[in-house]
Amino acid sequence: MTRPVPTLGNPKNTIEILNKYKFVFQKRYGQNFLIDEHVLGKIIRSAGITEEDFVIEIGPGIGTLTQYLAASAREVAAIEIDDALIPILEDTLSGYDNVTVIHDDVLKVDLTRLAEEKNGGRPVKVVANLPYYITTPIIMGLFENHVPLDSITIMVQKEVADRMKTGPGSKDYGALSLAVQYYARPELVANVPPNCFMPRPRVGSAVIRLTRHEKPPVEVQDEKLMFGIIRASFNQRRKTLVNGLGNAPELHLPKEKTAAVLEEMGLSPSVRGEALDLAGFAELSNRLKKILE
């Protein structure tokens, strides 16, 4: 079936819709709507959306990206928290019979069940324009809850995209970098300047695609322990790994034992977390697990 051509994505039509509904932007939801058709097309292409795909969109706003997704995908589920946007979405998506709008907080939606119901449990593609304040909880929720994912293609603050793809030694390197790289392969798709949004954000944005690994790149005996070690290592960046882990009450790791394990790995007891790559944290976790058993 031929879908309607998207009508949103340019400033004129966006302003018309906002005026029609007297929409007021909510700062608490970090709302910035895309008004650049070139960027919208790039998101669809980089996400690899085909007519076979079931897509979950997080935060559809007025339905700009949703229209593009609906024109390309088999079916779209768009999850929107803002009450004021629901009547607008009913209007802007009225021509598409393959979109379901779910009025809820994405952190409370059972996405695994949604994938089961709509896609037979097969891997889904997630696409989103995410506000800064909720980017990490959403991404980590998708991975840690083991939602069946093919890929996540998201618009985020440029600084967050840099964090996801960077390696040891960089000031941007941290717990988010390691978590993303454990679960997926990050690939920067495009940098997006503030003038592509309404209203204009104060900082630049970027589109990044996270392609889910079929199997994590490192072998870890206890994922929960490894991520506990990673979080403790970066909670106090200036401290050594020995002190950072020793100060984490949930880990109960004696400093002398952590120091001994680091020496077994050929590392100085004064090493900091930012010096270890994913393989290093996996090895450290596996060795410490034996001590904790």
Q: Model confidence at 1, in pLDDT bands (50, 70, 90)?
A: low
| CA–CA gap between residue 172 and residue 164 (Å, rounded) | 8
Q: Which domain holds residue 269?
A: 223-292
The last residue of one of the domains, among 172, 189, 212, is: 212
User: Are 162 and 284 part of one and the same domain?
Assistant: no
Task: Judge whether residue 96 has pLDDT over 70.
Answer: yes
Q: How far is CA 124 from CA 5, 53, 127, 213, 215, in A?
A: 24, 7, 10, 14, 17
Residue 56 belongs to some domain of the structure:
yes
| CA–CA gap between residue 281 and residue 289 (Å, rounded) | 12
Q: What is the mean pLDDT of residues 67-80?
A: 97
**How many domains does the chain divide into?**
2
Q: What is the CATH number of the domain that holds 287?
A: 1.10.8.100
Q: What is the mean pLDDT of residues 183-205?
A: 95
The last residue of one of the domains, among 158, 186, 212, is: 212
pTM for this prediction: 0.92
User: Are 73 and 164 part of one and the same domain?
Assistant: yes
User: Are 167 and 244 part of one and the same domain?
Assistant: no
User: Are 179 and 282 part of one and the same domain?
Assistant: no
Average pLDDT, the chain: 93
* Strand pairing report for 149-157 and 197-198: unpaired
Residue 3 belongs to some domain of the structure:
no
Q: What DSSP state is assigned to residue 204?
A: -
- The reported pLDDT for the residue numbered 293 is 73
* Closest to 82 measured CA to CA, from 97, 67, 60, 98: 60
Yes or no: say if 153 and 53 are a contact pair by the CB < 8 Å rule. Answer: no
